[in-house]
């Protein structure tokens, strides 16, 4: 965990400079007057925490400060850090990595999201990490839209030593998913990771296609084995929250992976996702390499973000 913490601290450097740096520096000695509370709320909103939640967090913090007679900035910051982690922890499953042993195998991860959000990369990272933990993994190239998409997944598969089930470009994604399920089943795999084509949530036919893939997997694997994983680009901030709401209304989401956290100025989006969707953020993407995907520990995260030491 400490390794994750220092790693996270490094990876969050960018976010901290741009987002929480501005927030953390507020907690540095000034009086907690009206100006302070207003400024804090403004900075939370511009950091993509969302207006409603920002107001609520500031309100709670203010009340706590008054009730507990807190006067030191350090103490107030600590309360703030625990408020953030409590908010995240209020969604069950947050930060827990996928465990293939949590049910009958193969566990099926259906990766969905808009174009370029990081689905294929996250699929590859997950496959690599499962393999390192001794799990047997199969991947499905159900993004049949572009030949390059199939190749991209195959590259990840070759690098990790994971079998990729694919058909030719333009074939039916649901048929690829079905094939891959059969292969995963037959080979006794622990995990099947299904990559899909990026799609705009407003495109009706593409959403229908996704529903069909989901239907086939649900029929074959059963609901208990299936996890619908929304991959969200955190750089998009509030837009990604809106996307997530639409996807969630079409297919019930089991988990969120928040990618490109290393690149974002909008660190607060993780709080918005938790609050609005009530779907657990399981991992955050912290770069392009296979190891740059971390289970998302809310307590460590909140502490790292505000540069406090993690609570013991």
Give contact residues for ligand GTP (rule: CB under 6 A): 113, 115-121, 143, 149, 198, 231, 259-260, 262-263, 285-288, 292
Smallest gap, in angstroms, from Cβ of residue 156 to ligand GTP? 9
Please give the Cα distance from 70 to 177 (Å, whole number).
Answer: 56
CB nearer to Mg ion: give 54 or 128. 128
Is-contact 119 148, C-beta < 8 A? no
β-bridge mates for residue 141, sequence order: 195
Using CB under 5 A as the binding rule, whether residue 234 contacts Mg ion is answered as no
Selection from ligand GTP, Mg ion, none that 295 binds (CB < 5 to 8 A by kind) is none
Using CB under 5 A as the binding rule, whether residue 129 contacts Mg ion is answered as no
Is-contact 126 293, C-beta < 8 A? yes
CB nearer to Mg ion: give 120 or 264. 120
5 burial (CB, 10 Å; 0-12 / 13-18 / 19+) is middle
Selection from ligand GTP, Mg ion, none that 236 binds (CB < 5 to 8 A by kind) is none
Stretch that binds Mg ion, among 33-41, 118-126, 156-164, 205-213 (CB under 5 A): 118-126
Smallest gap, in angstroms, from Cβ of residue 196 to Mg ion? 8
Selection from Mg ion, ligand GTP, none that 11 binds (CB < 5 to 8 A by kind) is none
Structure tokens at 61: 């913090």
CB nearer to Mg ion: give 112 or 174. 112
> What's the length of the chain?
312
Please give the Cα distance from 312 to 292 (Å, whole number).
Answer: 25
Is-contact 26 19, C-beta < 8 A? no
Selection from Mg ion, ligand GTP, none that 190 binds (CB < 5 to 8 A by kind) is none
| Residue number with the smallest Cβ distance to Mg ion | 120
Q: In 10 A of CB 134, how many CB atoms?
A: 7
């Amino acid at each position: 965990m400490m390794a994750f913490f220092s790693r996270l601290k490094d990876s969050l450097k960018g976010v901290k400079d741009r987002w929480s740096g501005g927030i953390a520096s507020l907690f540095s000695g000034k009086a907690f007057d009206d100006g302070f509370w207003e400024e804090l709320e403004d900075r939370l909103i511009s950091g993509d925490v969302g207006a409603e939640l920002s107001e609520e967090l500031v309100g709670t913090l203010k009340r706590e400060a008054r009730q507990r007679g807190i006067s030191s900035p350090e103490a107030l910051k600590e309360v703030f850090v625990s408020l953030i982690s409590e908010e995240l922890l209020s969604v069950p499953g947050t930060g827990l990595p996928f465990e293939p042993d949590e049910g009958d195998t193969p566990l099926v991860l259906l990766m969905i999201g808009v174009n370029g959000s990081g689905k294929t990369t996250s699929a590859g990272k997950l496959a690599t990490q499962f393999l390192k933990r001794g799990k047997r993994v199969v991947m499905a190239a159900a993004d049949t839209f572009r030949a390059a998409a199939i190749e991209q997944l195959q590259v990840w598969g070759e690098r990790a030593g994971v079998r990729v089930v694919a058909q030719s470009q333009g074939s039916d994604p649901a048929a690829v998913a079905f094939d891959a399920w059969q292969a995963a089943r037959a080979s006794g795999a622990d995990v099947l990771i299904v990559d899909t084509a990026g799609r705009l949530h407003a495109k009706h036919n593409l959403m229908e296609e996704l529903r069909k893939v989901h239907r086939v997997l649900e029929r074959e694997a059963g609901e208990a084995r299936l996890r619908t994983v929304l991959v969200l680009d955190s750089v998009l901030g509030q837009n990604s929250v809106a996307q997530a709401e639409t996807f969630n209304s079409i297919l019930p989401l089991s988990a969120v992976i928040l990618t490109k956290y290393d690149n974002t100025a909008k660190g607060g989006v993780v709080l918005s996702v938790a609050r609005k969707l009530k779907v657990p953020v399981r991992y955050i993407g912290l770069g392009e390499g296979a190891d740059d995907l971390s289970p998302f520990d809310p307590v460590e995260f909140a502490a790292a973000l505000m540069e406090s030491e993690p609570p013991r």
